Every structure is written in structure tokens, then in C-alpha cells.
Amino acid sequence: MTREECQHCDMQDPFRQHRERFVVPSGMIYLDGNSLGLMPRSVPKRIEQAMHQEWAQDLITSWNVHGWFQLPKIIGDKIARLIGASPDTVIVADTISVNLFKVLTAALALRRERKVILSDLGNFPSDLYVAQGLNRFLADGHMLRTVEPEQVFESISDDVAVVMATEVDYRTGRRHDMKAITARAHALGALVIWDLAHSAGAIPVALEAAECDFAIGCTYKYLNGGPGSQAFVFVNRKHHSSAEPALVGWWGHAKPFAFDPQWAPAEGLVRQQCGTQGMLSMQALDAAMDIWADVEMGALHDKAKALCSLFIELVEAACGKHGLRLAGPRDMARRGTHVSFHCPEGYAVMQAMIARKVIGDFRAPDLIRFGFAPLYNSYTDVFDAAAHLAEVLEKRLWDRPEHLAKKSVT
Amino acid sequence: MTREECQHCDMQDPFRQHRERFVVPSGMIYLDGNSLGLMPRSVPKRIEQAMHQEWAQDLITSWNVHGWFQLPKIIGDKIARLIGASPDTVIVADTISVNLFKVLTAALALRRERKVILSDLGNFPSDLYVAQGLNRFLADGHMLRTVEPEQVFESISDDVAVVMATEVDYRTGRRHDMKAITARAHALGALVIWDLAHSAGAIPVALEAAECDFAIGCTYKYLNGGPGSQAFVFVNRKHHSSAEPALVGWWGHAKPFAFDPQWAPAEGLVRQQCGTQGMLSMQALDAAMDIWADVEMGALHDKAKALCSLFIELVEAACGKHGLRLAGPRDMARRGTHVSFHCPEGYAVMQAMIARKVIGDFRAPDLIRFGFAPLYNSYTDVFDAAAHLAEVLEKRLWDRPEHLAKKSVT
């Protein structure tokens, strides 16, 4: 494809107008929306209202008058539609790690006779830490069994209480077969927790069709909720009345304002809430989620696949001789929407790219990672990024000192 | 005291200029800063910078370039000074309930041979829920023993692993003797967790002088961090290397960006962090904390005590005949800086007060609660609030339909 053909594709892009809803920094090719999504243009106005009117003037009455209490559920329903979940099964609260802890303990309590948590080495490390920290505290034989990502399916055995996996690998983009793993786990009596950090807003997810038990996910990547915006948690309706996390708090109480000294879980999903949530971050997220109202995930995924395929094709054609090698599967059905290449001197190469305002990430030991957020990334972004990468490698620009220092959050 | 004398006190008030740093809604007497503090005038500018420059333009580089990663510690140090803690012993993260869960599990792991958590019925219910939820999950004999607030000291026995109490009662304002209870707990081999939700920024706290083990607290009340801003956690330096929470995540890892699949706690306090924090809420909190740079807590407490004493005196003089009765101790050394009265028809009375823009809270079964935030409440506020209360009672305004509906968060 030529650059002109890419421009033509951009003009035909059904999500062309969505890009307009974001602030795209001038001259920047931003391929790190899988780390921190761009700021939606609707956010500042919402936050100004939240500060100047709701907080400053209406103060505590805003919890009701401006619906602060309802936001976790309202936003949850907006996310639910994108991940194949029905209303009242997703709620927004806390962080991914905290939510994982809630559903992991809830799942373990539903499988008290089993002590094995099965996960894989492609899982985001923090998810593994959550299980390890819990096991260390319990000190009663609970253990985390980690296998290679490709071995998860075959490693499910009848001593496994919970299978815990991230659908899309934060490094390679490899995508698990959610339906097959969930079915196999259920057949062997285990429950399943899916981490959708690199899925939600990027690829179509069918949580309920796959009969998933629990899921957690991130809102500051493809959902563009802003730095550190609250995470979400999904609980399959069949577990609503039985899933009881070890970590609870007043927002999950049946009657929070009765101030009863005795814990009594609220009906359904609400008990997955715990403490009072930061409303500035949550308001930004709510404004960001409005962008998704008219987005059909199948069509969005089609665009994402096209962007990823094009990038792989362009990079392999122009950069193959420099030792680059695609990470993860080539089949678009088996990957998410970021693309990583094993790259000698990858860290320095990414620094050189960033110095040219092409923003991606480096992930040890040797991966350069490019995230394609189909809501706002264009075909021209893809073309230009590949051209920059070719030039950086061709001219050995990574071997020069004018590199920017940079670290990032996945 | 007459209103003129109150005005005179306001002119002499050493914190007169601090009030100017807040947005005080026109015509409102705000006595609910113990629920949600007023908005500091410095917040909107900071948040605009955080949105338009840091998020929208600098994106992921802001984690380092704009010091996002360092904020939990930077703010923690600002709070530490107000609660008698040294630098590097306080960090900001998550919610009170989540932080309580962390330090409660860390404390229990340090006292594995004991299974009793001791608390009192004056504790904020969510703190009790945290212990109950954990015990229910453990199902191994761990139990929560709750006594009357006045019985905590004498109820500490050598089977108690952890004493967990809120220093200032959210209803009555009664204040625990932190030093005595902590010493008694230590003498009997127990650890102590103090909840400072209604203490931090209101009364001087001497965590290290009292040799407290752990503390948690709220930033959206007297510290004015904004709705649901992150909570803080204190860990005594002597426990830094031994306290390991059951709930951990990558922000608490020794090397978070090594993405090691194996959990390894960071040195010291850092391991009390877990997941990625909402930066809009945290930036607001950081801006709010700058107001405290020149505040000496002893002088601030002197003002708070004067406001509370004056309110009690004025209300008892003018409203005593209507059946009002002071809740909690009269001795200012034994209470925090909110004042509650048992009041027949208290709910309706508070509604009538709110209709007149005198904002306090109702707490079941019969308490009307008025919080005095000494940074911005004035002697005239106190005088006028007492006058309104007298008029509402005298004219039975609470018995009329023009009341506003309202609920709030403690």
C-alpha cells in the first residue's frame, strides 16, 4: 500500500469522525493507546462542571443530585455492551489488581475443596502478584501454578479451583481462546477469571456467550478514561448471589446508610464495590465512555485487524533485513490489536522512534510494541510509523545520543 | 458571645487567610467539611494542567516527566507532618477500606498465633465490614470482637492479634486515648491500627510518639482532596520490612518495570501500594495539600476547640428547652472537631437547616451533626448556625414541607 492509498482508506473509514473526538497531539503518531488512551475532547468540560458546580457549589448533595453514587453502575453498563455482557453485570471500581483480588477470593470461596490457581507466564505480572500475595498470606496450601500460555488449556486439571488469565498478552498480543478454556475449566469443575485489560474497546469479547464466570479490566487504555481511571469488574449473573469477596466495604453493603455494624452484602453485583470512589477520575471516564455509544465492536475490530495487518506487512517488507521478527501469532483471530516485534537493540530503537514523536513502548527483553487504537488511529498513522521505523533502522538512528528518556505504564 | 464578638474573633483569627483559599458557596454556612471538604481555589488550575498538558499532550511520558509515579509519596509526606509521622512513613493510595484490608492482613500475618480482632461499636461500620469480610473468607476461627467504645482499653487481652479503632467517632465526636490504648495493646502483644478519618487535618495526632503500628485515613474530609480522593496509609518504620499485606500489586513490587512473574515486595512502605492510581483525583489532592504547608496543627486545634465550645454553649443556651442533648464528651481533649446533638425529630430538623443553607448531617437514630473545619469555618459561621438552629426549633420549621431532600457521605 502506498501513503496515498492509506489516505484513501482514512477517508472511507467509518470511524473517521471518532478520531475528531480526541485531542491528537500535533505532529505525534500515538501508538500507545494500549497504555494510556488519548484524551477525549468531551472530558475537560465535564471535569470543569464536576469541579466548579458539583464539588465547589453543590458539595455533598452531589452524591445524589448529580448521581455520583450511580456512576459505577452507569459506566459499567456502557462497558458491558462492548464486552458481551448484559446490563447489571459490570461495575466500575478501584483498580484491576483490587478487583482481581475480590473475584479471586470470591471464586476460591466457591471452590473451598481446591487450592490451585492456574495461570500463565503471559499474564500481566500484577495479576500473578495478586495470587502470590494472597497465597503467602493464607499459608494453607493455596498455590499458583503457572504454565506457558499455550499450555493453559491442557493444564486444567480437577484440582484447579480457578483459571486466571489475561485474554490478550500485554507483550506479544497473543489472544487466548476464551470460549475453549472456559468450557474446559467448567468441565473440570474450575471457575475462570478473565483479565480484559488489552481487550476491552479493542476486540469484540463475548463474556456471556462464553459463559465466563468473572472478568476484570482496565479503562485507561482503549477506553480512554484518563490516567489511572477506575477499573471494571464483571460477575456472571449466575454468581451474583453467591460470590462473596474477602475484601468488602460499605459501598457493597445492603444498606450503606443504615450504618449497621454488621456486614450484609448487597444483592447482586453491588457487593463488589468497597470504598468511596474518586469522582474526578470517574467523571472523566464517564465522559469518555459516551464516545462508544454508536460504536459496533465488530466493525471496529475489522478496522483494527486491517491496521495491524498493514503494519506487519509494511514493517516486514521494509525492516525484515534488520533482524525484526513478529511476536505472537500472525492470525488476526488469535491476537489483539497491538503488534510487537522482537528487535535487536529494541530499547534504543524505541527511544529513537519516540524522539521522532512516534510513540510506542519497549517491553523487555527485546520487544518494540505498537498499539493500534482503532477509534482514533488511522491508516496513515500506520504507514508513517512503519516508514519511521524503516528509517531509524536503515540509518542506525538508534545508535545516536539524541534519544528521549522514557518509561511508561502498560 | 454576641455576633459582633464573633466577627471580632474572625478578624483576629490566625487562619483568616486560609478561608480565602477555598470556594465558599455564597450564602451557605458549610458545616459538613467532615464529610466532603470545600474545594481549594488552587485545584481547578492544577486539574486543567493535568488534563490539557499532562494527559492530552504529554501522555504516558507524564508518569515520569510530570512525576505522576511520585505523587503518592509526595502527598504522603505532606500528610505525615500533620499526623505526627516522619517522612517516608505515609503513602497515598486506594480507599480507606482497601488500605485497612492491607494493614489488617499484614498485622494478622505478624500475629499468626492469634485470631481475635478487637474493635468497638463506635468504629465506622465499613471498618468493621472489612474485618468481617476477611474473617468470613478465612473461615478458620478468625473473629471480630466488638465492644462499647469505652471498653476498648479494658477489653484488650492476650488473645487479641489486632486492635482496630477509629480515633474520632463519626457520630458523637468522642475521641479515643490513642496513646493509652496503643500502649496497653503492645503490653499484651497486640498490634494497633488507627483510622484517622475524622482526625487528619482536624486535631493534632502523634502517631509515632504513641508508637502506633498502622494508621489509615481519609483525604476528602478535612484535607479537602475532593470527592473520593485517595486515602492514606501509615506504617510504623519498625514494621516496614516485615509488614506484608495479602493484597499486593505491581506498584508495590521491588522492580515494577522488570515485569518479573515472581512477586517480590519493594523495600519499606512502597509495598503498601497496589494498582495504578487515578491521577486526576490525586492531582486535586496534591494541590489541596499545599494549603497545609504553613499550618501548625496545635494552633489549628486551638481554633477548632474554640469553635466547638462556642457552638455547644450557644446551642445549649438557646435550644436546651427543645430536648437537645450533647453527644459525646464535653471535654475538648476527649473529642474531635464535629459536634452532634441528640435531637428529637433530628432528621427533619437537619432538613430544615439545609433548606436555610446551613449544611450539616443527620446520623441515625437521632443525631444532628455539625463539622467545624478550622481552616475555613469562622466564629460567625458558628454564631449564625446556632441562631438558625434556635429559630428552626422555636418556630417548629422542621414540621413544614419546604424541606430539601438530602443524603450524604460521612
The 10s digit of each residue's pLDDT in B6-57 is 999 999 999 999 999 999 999 999 999 999 999 999 999 999 999 999 999 9
Active site includes B30? no
Q: Which of A35, A63, A126 sits opposite B408 (nearest CB)?
A: A63
Distance from CA of A29 to the nearest CA of B (A): 12
Q: What is the pLDDT of residues B319-329, one digit of tens each?
A: 989 999 999 99
Per-residue DSSP letter, A118? E
Q: What is the pLDDT of residues A282-334, one digit of tens each?
A: 999 999 999 999 999 999 999 999 999 999 999 999 998 999 999 999 999 99
Question: Is the CB of B280 less than 8 angstroms away from the CB of A275?
Answer: no
- pLDDT score for B406: 47
Active site includes A16? no
pLDDT at A406 over 60: no
Active site includes B124? yes
Kindly state the average pLDDT of the residues A42-56.
Answer: 98
Rg, Å, chain A Cα set: 22
- pLDDT score for A410: 41
> Considering A214, A220, A222, A379, which one is annotated as catalytic?
A220
Q: Which of A339, A344, A321, A352 is nearest to A382 (CA)?
A: A339
- pLDDT score for A401: 63
Question: Is the CB of A61 less than 8 angstroms away from the CB of B406?
Answer: yes
- pLDDT score for A400: 77
Q: In A, which residues are within 8 Å of B130 by CB distance?
A: 247-249
- pLDDT score for B397: 87
Q: A interface mutation test: which of B36, B49, B97, B286 has the most A CBs within 10 A?
A: B97
Distance from CA of B267 to the nearest CA of A (A): 15
Question: Is the CB of B263 less than 8 angstroms away from the CB of A133?
Answer: yes
Question: Is the CB of A407 less than 8 angstroms away from the CB of B63?
Answer: yes
**How many CA atoms lie less than 13 Å away from B89 in the CB half-sphere?**
21
- Global pTM exceeds 0.95: yes
Which chain A residue has the Cα nearest residue B95?
Answer: A275
Q: Which of B130, B261, B279 sits opposite A249 (nearest CB)?
A: B130
Question: Is the CB of A407 less than 8 angstroms away from the CB of B130?
Answer: no
Active site includes B21? no
Phi, psi values for residue A13, rounded to 5°: -65, 120
Kindly state the average pLDDT of the residues B143-156.
Answer: 98
Which chain A residue has the Cα nearest residue B225?
Answer: A278
Distance from CA of B210 to the nearest CA of A (A): 28
HEC-encoded secondary structure of chain B:
CCHHHHHHHHHHCCCHHHHCCECCCCCCEECCCCCCCCCECCHHHHHHHHHHHHHHHHHHHHHHHCCHHHHHHHHHHHHHHHHCCCCCCEEECCCHHHHHHHHHHHHHHHCCCCCEEEEECCCCHHHHHHHHHHHHHHCCCCEEEEECHHHHHHHCCCCEEEEEEECECCCCCEECCHHHHHHHHHHCCCEEEEECCCCCCCCCCCCCCCCCCEEEECCCCCCCCCCCCCCEEEECHHHCCCCCCCCCCHHHECCHHHCCCCCCECCHHHHHCCCCCCHHHHHHHHHHHHHHHHCCHHHHHHHHHHHHHHHHHHHHHHHHHHCCEECCCCCHHHECCEEEEECCCHHHHHHHHHHCCEECEEECCCEEEEECCCCCCCHHHHHHHHHHHHHHHHCCHHHCCCCCCCCCCC
Q: What is the pLDDT of residues A242-276, one digit of tens each?
A: 999 999 999 999 999 999 999 999 999 999 999 99
pLDDT tier for residue B402 given thresholds of 50, 70 and 90: low
Which chain B residue has the Cα nearest residue A229?
Answer: B278
Taking the C-alpha atoms of residue A69 and residue B283, their distance in angstroms, rounded to an integer, is 22
Q: In A, which residues are within 8 Å of B253 by CB distance?
A: 125-126, 129
Taking the C-alpha atoms of residue A24 and residue A238, their distance in angstroms, rounded to an integer, is 42
Distance from CA of A172 to the nearest CA of B (A): 14
Question: Is the CB of B246 less than 8 angstroms away from the CB of A138?
Answer: yes
Q: What is the pLDDT of residues B66-87, one digit of tens each?
A: 999 999 999 999 999 999 999 9
Which chain B residue has the Cα nearest residue A361?
Answer: B60
| Close Cβ partners of B185 (under 8 Å, ≥ 6 residues apart) | B156, B160, B163, B191, B192
pLDDT at B403 over 90: no
Question: Is the CB of B278 less than 8 angstroms away from the CB of A229?
Answer: yes
CA distances (Å), B40 to each of A36, B14, B301, in order? Answer: 28, 18, 20
Question: Is the CB of B129 less than 8 angstroms away from the CB of A363?
Answer: no
Question: Is the CB of A59 less than 8 angstroms away from the CB of B36?
Answer: yes
- pLDDT score for B399: 82
Percentage of chain B with pLDDT > 90?
A: 94
Q: In A, which residues are within 8 Å of B137 by CB distance?
A: 105, 108-109, 244-246
Distance from CA of A344 to the nearest CA of B (A): 18
Active site includes A124? yes
Kindly state the average pLDDT of the residues A90-100.
Answer: 98
Which chain B residue has the Cα nearest residue A129?
Answer: B263
**Residue A234: enclosing H or E segment and its boundaries?**
strand A232-235
Kindly state the average pLDDT of the residues A74-101.
Answer: 98
Calculate the CA dihedral of residues A102, A107, A112, A116 and round it to 10 degrees.
Answer: -100
Taking the C-alpha atoms of residue B298 and residue B76, their distance in angstroms, rounded to an integer, is 20
Q: What is the pLDDT of residues B201-238, one digit of tens each?
A: 999 999 999 999 999 999 999 999 999 999 999 999 99
- pLDDT score for A407: 44
Q: What is the pLDDT of residues A144-202, one digit of tens each?
A: 999 999 999 999 999 999 999 999 999 999 999 999 999 999 999 999 999 999 999 99
Kindly state the average pLDDT of the residues A62-70.
Answer: 94
Kindly state the average pLDDT of the residues A403-408.
Answer: 47
pLDDT at B409 over 70: no
Question: Is the CB of A281 less than 8 angstroms away from the CB of B278?
Answer: yes
> Considering B94, B369, B370, B376, which one is annotated as catalytic?
B369
- pLDDT score for B408: 44
